[in-house]
Amino acid sequence: MNYIYSAKNNAFYPIELKFEYENSKSWPDDGVAVSDSIFNEFSGQNSTGKIRASDSEGVPIWREQPPLTPDELIMGAENKRKYLIIEANDVINKNNWPSKLILKRLLEVEKISFNEWLDYIDALNAIDTSTAPNITWPIVPA
């Protein structure tokens, strides 16, 4: 066996580095020796919808991922809104619509698109993220 698993830290530690970990006072006191196959299974990509946790013996297991908390859902919605606004502003700026408008060079078809994107940004800003995940996101302009 080449590794220990710490349930407290939910982490693996190579036994060959024990001396270095002890010198830095970071060797876990709850470490359980695990086989290389356990290390390989639980240190790689996790199963979809699963998280690594420990059982009552302090050995790693796959557990169902808990649902997101209301605060996490709200944060996710706020991040999505910020991302969508950045994307919308990128479209507006790549087309130079603000500059063309100021210089009176904005074509009528561009003015229509510009307004659609501004309406889209307004709709994004109007979203109440506290209702996440029950949010109806506005449709991206064509």
**Would you write out the chain's pLDDT as a tens digit for each of its 142 residues?**
899 999 999 999 999 999 999 999 999 999 999 999 999 999 988 777 899 999 999 999 999 999 999 999 999 999 999 999 999 999 999 999 999 999 999 999 999 999 999 999 999 999 999 999 999 999 999 9
| Burial class of residue 45, CB neighbours in 10 A (0-12, 13-18, 19+) | exposed
The overall pTM is greater than 0.75: no
Site of tokens 């706020």: 78
